[in-house]
A and B are shown apart, each in its own frame.
Chain A
Amino acid sequence: MNMSINWKRLMDELAQVWTVAVKDIRVYYLQPPMIMFGLALPFFLFFSFSIKRNIGAESGIAQLLAMTTFFMASSAGPVVIPLERRMGTYDRLLAAPMSLASLLIAQTLVGAFFALVTSVVPLLVGVLCLHVAIADTPLLFAGLLLASLAFSTFGLVFGSIPVQSVGSIMMPSTLIRWPLLFISGIFIPLGDMAPWARVLSYLSPLTYAQDVIKTAVSGAGYLNRWLDLGLLLVLLIVFLIPAARLHHRSRVLGY
């Protein structure tokens, strides 16, 4: 009896994850400003970081894919949750018969989905226009998928901070995300870094994403590909813990 109830509950939770994810996509992502932002950001990033730098097409595309995934996936959480809190619609989700885990998973999936869709743009440009040959396509998809999910839960941590204003979240999230970009090995390859800088780079989740993407695109990463994938998987789960705790804190404080 209990087994059947639990099975039904699990099915309900999965359906609710889907329901919330589809709603988020419709309400927040399929809006003209978001679509324009998603299409334009990779090119802004590309021109910002490639002009007057002598980098090969493979390295350039790998860096661009990593940066696009990082910024797009981690941008969703800090915007959607405070916005919903301010509009009161988040109460609707929290009062519904679904677990917090399902709610967080739904938002993670949406952020990751948006990042994956956006990363198709630079990938197509690399393959079709710059004739970049992908060395390991399955690894590239696995790396992009795990990186998108991990960065999405990373953004969720900021979105879970008990505030109602998007502005209050954007400042700390920007202040943390940009340094993580600079220490990640995107601009200075991990192999060329001083040992202390390399140790510092291991603190950035982007390090493992850019390394595995680089391995997949050019076949020349610095770390073991399985280590990169494994750490992204661990980070994806680890980031959910503070997100859940901050949600609990919000419930205590009344946000």
Chain B
Amino acid sequence: MRYAIEVHDLTKYYGDHLAVDHISFDVRQGEIYGFLGPNGAGKSTTQRMLTTLLEPTSGQILIHEHDLARDAYPAKRIMGLVPEESNIYTELTAWDNLIFTAQLYRVPVNQRTARASELLETFGLWENRAVKVENYSKGMRRRLSIAMAIIHQPSLLFLDEPVPGLDAQSARAIREMIRQLNADGTTVFLTTHDIEEANQLCNRVAILNHGKIAAIDTPERLKATFRRVQSVEVALDPEGQMQKDALGALSGVTQLIKAGDKWRLYTEDPSSLVPQIVHYAEENNLRVLHLNTLGPSLEDVFLEITGQEIGSVHHENGEQKMRRGKMRGRK
């Protein structure tokens, strides 16, 4: 087995605060590896250590068998990095940004312009190549940021939260780009708290919680491990809050949440719960509009592992993001 990344006993302290706690994992060449975790779990800290931007307190990182502590240079040549916030020189045009990056990564002179043109075409930025980036939308900046990260054709690409904050069209285009890059042979290390994104894209995911790896496996195997978070989804007519206590009291229900006009009843044994729900509906003259048994989603697995309440996973709002930025700035 050939590995793109091998991490052994990696630890990071910020003063007395243990941000990453003796984690070990490996990423195989050619896979899309998802690095999941709630805010503050240590995802970005780990990624910054893997990309040489942050010095580990202890532990070893090998990138394509190159030890970062000994000589990061050969590893840096084969890595591309797309950070959470697009770090582009906004005073320059897209073209100038790409050429600057190509020069920085020593892309041969005779290939620079051809590669920059090809990427601008691929990423739908050709028409705006001469426009200063300060006039670009967030989605355009994100696409340019990815183009800049791959202009030297890295064999390992780090992506930190590539999609949040983008419109649906841009998000889909970026997911497709990630799949295409991977199909072309690039190993992708995807840091995200978007569980569905990881579910759709990743061959394997690692779930990080409180600086420790809580689980590593394929999304499907992780889901299979957590049978107790299976659920039954039901929509009753007429719907009402008065059903809450009755449904919650049914035998085997571990948790009940309202999801739109439906109730989701978590249980280890959906097959014994379904007849109880039907019986309850008949007794109370309710129509069953929708009844479905659901296996555990990756989100359920994530919530189980990280100890968060079901229904609490959501995208960060602006205030949370700003607070997290301040925390990182203080470290």
Contact = CB atoms under 8 A, between A and B. Distances in A.
Given A26-B92, A27-B89, A254-B14, A95 B52 contact: yes
A97 B87 contact: no
A91 B73 CA distance: 15
Contact of B328 (A89, A95, A98, A254): A254
Contacts of A91: 53, 81, 83, 87
A136 interface: no
A94 B87 CA distance: 12
B106 A254 contact: no
A97 B331 contact: no
Given A95-B53, A97-B77, A89 B88 contact: yes
Interface string A227-255: 00000000000000000000010011111
Q: Which one of B53, B85, B90, B105 has the greatest number of beta carbons of chain A within 10 Å?
A: B53
Contacts of A255: 329, 331
B239 interface: no
B14 A253 contact: yes
Contacts of B83: 88, 91
Contacts of A4: none
Nearest to B84: A88
Interface string B221-259: 000000000000000000000000000000000000000
Q: Sort chain B's interface into a size bin.
A: 20 to 34
B240 to A, nearest CB: 50
A53 interface: no
B79 interface: yes
Contacts of A252: 54-55
Contact of B331 (A12, A27, A31, A254): A254
B48 A97 contact: no
Contacts of A92: 81, 87, 101, 104, 148
B262 interface: no
Given A91-B81, A253-B331, A97 B53 contact: no
A158 to B, nearest CB: 18
A193 B275 CA distance: 100
Nearest to A87: B87
A26 B88 CA distance: 14
A19 interface: yes
Interface string B77-105: 10101010111111110001000110111
Contacts of B48: 254
Contacts of B54: 251-252, 254
Contacts of A94: 52-53
B76 interface: yes
Contact of B104 (A16, A99, A248, A253): A16
B151 to A, nearest CB: 12
Given A27-B91, A87-B87, A164 B331 contact: no
A95 B14 contact: no
A131 interface: no
B87 A164 contact: no
B186 interface: no
Given A26-B92, A89-B88, A164-B329, A97 B103 contact: no
Nearest to B104: A96
Given A92-B81, A99-B73, 7 more contacts: A26-B92, A27-B92, A87-B90, A88-B87, A92-B87, A97-B77, A251-B53
